[in-house]
Amino acid sequence: MIIFKKKLGVKVKPINNLILIICSFLFLYPAANAQMQLKIATLAPQNSDWAEKFQEGSKEIQRRTQNRVKLKFYWGGAQGNAKKNLQKIKIGQLHGGTFSPTDFQDIYPDLNIYGLPFLFKDFDEIEYVRKLVDLDLESGFKELGYEMYGFAGGGFAYVMSNEPISGYDDLKSQKIWLPQGDLISYEAMRSLELLPVPLPMTDVLTGLQTGLIDIVAIPAVVALALQWHTKIKYITRIPVLYAMGFLAIDSRVINRLSIHDRNVISEVLRSIYEEVNADSKNDSENAMQALLNIGIKEVPFHDNEYKRLTNLMIKPNLEMAKRDMFSLELFEHISNYIIEYRANLALQQ
């Protein structure tokens, strides 16, 4: 008996047809015992607390999947900057990486709203808003083709410099580091008439050393982990912006795993990010104290100067939203949540 494929007009023997179906089935549903190594790039140094948590998590995943899934990490920016890592994920050289919101500026700008300059005053405000918004932001990764496992707060970015900064006018004459590709921070600096110097994170230490940049605004935890504190003399504890990070893995790779193994990965990685996020406030304070203990001097930033900067940023933030640099609707929701929180706090005092 001969079977005809009408569309192609080709004669196919039954046995060949059966083999084709079986092969297709095996391709779509990999064998349960197949091993997969997930290649993850990160800027975290190998001797950091982050690295220790990831390594422990990797061992747990390997054990609970009976060696079917292994995580291989490339530490300290060994695979290049975030832009290169995203390109490598796209072509399959990497499977995932740790990122900050600015790394997704082109494809998911709404992530950057949390990090708008001078939007939040303290940890309590950001915690209140995150409980209402985080899940909505997480859902957007599915549409981008990534799996992610929660956000980890990195603390507030403070001004670190080689000259004391106690007010807005002191900032104007300084060369300020800007994360490469961070269009929102660029617009914010431009509106404040400041001098941004775009650099990838991997070049910041050299930039501080050579005088290419004078100021970085970064969480104390990150400054210690990346050794940037060795090239600055002063720190001004003004909450410039809120920083957070996340791990994103290509959905195409995760979908090749069994449901059990996917669940194991999700449980372990979410647990890590929940732990880091819960500890972020204390870690930030401890890192700040560590900087002061090694001789970096704290410079007071007067309340009226902080209010001056927040007032100056109201109009530019709104204009960026109206220009579709991020969602106007989401920005308004977050702004209203902040107003709501501050009003409730005022009633309690």
Number of domains present in the structure of the chain:
1
Q: How many CB atoms lie within 10 A of CB 146?
A: 23
Check residue 163 and give its pLDDT: 93
Q: Give residue 159's pLDDT band: very low, low, confident or very high (50, 70, 90).
A: very high
Q: Which residue has the tokens 């401890």?
A: 286
Residue 31 in this model has a pLDDT that exceeds 50 = no
Q: Give residue 252's pLDDT band: very low, low, confident or very high (50, 70, 90).
A: very high
Domain range for residue 328? 35-348
Distance CA 75, CA 153 (A): 20
DSSP 8-state assignment for residue 209: H
Q: Point out which residues pair with 146 in neighbouring strands.
A: 250
Check residue 349 and give its pLDDT: 78
Q: How far is CA 170 from each of CA 3, 77, 198, 217, rounded to the nearest angstrom?
A: 82, 33, 20, 14
Domain-located, residue 192: yes
Domain-located, residue 4: no
- For the chain, percent of residues with pLDDT exceeding 70: 90
- Kindly tell me the burial class for residue 298, based on how many C-beta atoms sit within 10 Å of its own C-beta (0-12, 13-18, 19 or more): middle
Q: Give residue 231's pLDDT band: very low, low, confident or very high (50, 70, 90).
A: very high
Check residue 34 and give its pLDDT: 55
Across 43-60, average pLDDT: 90
Query: Taking a C-beta distance cutoff of 8 angstroms, is the pair 186, 273 a contact?
Result: no
Distance CA 20, CA 31 (A): 17
- More confident of the two residues 26 and 262: 262
Q: What are phi and psi of 302, to 5 degrees?
A: -70, 145
Domain-located, residue 291: yes
Domain-located, residue 27: no
Domain-located, residue 22: no
**Of 132, 114, 144, whose CA–CA distance to 326 is shortest?**
114
Q: Where are the alpha helices (DSSP H) in 80-167?
A: 82-91, 123-144
Residue 5 in this model has a pLDDT that exceeds 80 = no
Domain-located, residue 317: yes
pLDDT digits (tens, 9 = 90+) for 97-133: 999 998 998 899 999 999 999 999 999 999 999 999 9
Residue 234, helix vs strand vs coil: strand
Distance CA 139, CA 124 (A): 24
Check residue 180 and give its pLDDT: 83
DSSP 8-state assignment for residue 296: P
- More confident of the two residues 256 and 21: 256
- Torsion, Cα 130 239 107 259, to 10 degrees, reads -40
Counted residue by residue, the chain has a size of 349
Across 260-275, average pLDDT: 97
Q: Point out which residues pair with 299 in neighbouring strands.
A: 236
Domain-located, residue 29: no
Whichever domain contains 169, its CATH number is 3.40.190.170
Domain-located, residue 24: no
